[in-house]
Structure 1
Amino acid sequence: MVGSMDELEERVRRQLYRFQDLAEQMAAVRGRETSEDGAVMAEVDGNGALRDLQFGHAISRMTPDEFEQVVVATSAAAARAAFERRAEVVNRFNEEMAG
């Protein structure tokens, strides 16, 4: 319960800042993974969009199928890491809002 208009304004202002912080934290979420052999590094954002993909010299020894598999597997691992980080951000936010 809110006792005065000033208290209400302050409460709304704090919640607005929390939402702005959430938006900034969500935009900053990244997942980055490198394949075991170091051939591929993939980075994705919190929505799973590929942001960076780098290749090492080891790709020159791969068949096209091996190359495809390592790119997909590494990118998927990066996406999983990003989604886990995003879930942590959302869970922290929900705990703060509930408290």
Structure 2
Amino acid sequence: MVETMDELITRVQQQVYRLTDLQEAMGRIVVSETSPDGSVTVEVDGNATPVGLNFTGGINRLSPEDFEKTLVETARAAAARAIAEKAALIDTFNSESTR
């Protein structure tokens, strides 16, 4: 419990700074995932939005169905890692908020 208005203001400012830090950290998340055969690399941000896509000559050996499957699975893996990183940041924030 806070005893003075100054303590309350300080506490609220600290929480705002922590929220700003959390927002900035989440904004810096970029995850890159490469398919097992190395033919597809997908890069996503912290919202699991694709921000980069790279193909090697290995895609020439894939059928259209295999290419689609490889692309989707690689993008899904990148998205899962990005969301996990974001969740870890939020969990840390929440655990520090309860202290």
TM range (shorter): over 0.9
Amino acid at match of 2:69: Q
Please tell me whether residue 21 in structure 1 is matched to residue 21 in structure 2.
yes
* Structure 2: gaps spanning 5 or more residues: none
Aligned to 1:78: 78
Task: Give, in whole Å, the separation in 2 of the partners of 1:45 and 1:38.
Answer: 20
Contact 1:31/1:80, CA 8 A, preserved across alignment: no
Aligned to 1:54: 54
4+ residue stretches of structure 1 with deviation over 6 A? none
* Structure 1: gaps spanning 5 or more residues: none
Identity, in percent, stands at 43
TM-score between the two structures when normalised by the length of structure 2: 0.95
TM-score between the two structures when normalised by the length of structure 1: 0.95
Q: Compute the RMSD of aligned alpha carbons.
A: 0.8
Number of residues of Structure 1 aligned to a counterpart in Structure 2: 99
- How far the C-alpha of 1:30 sits from its partner, in A, is 2.1
- How far the C-alpha of 1:31 sits from its partner, in A, is 2.2
Task: Give, in whole Å, the separation in 1 of the partners of 2:67 and 2:28.
Answer: 29
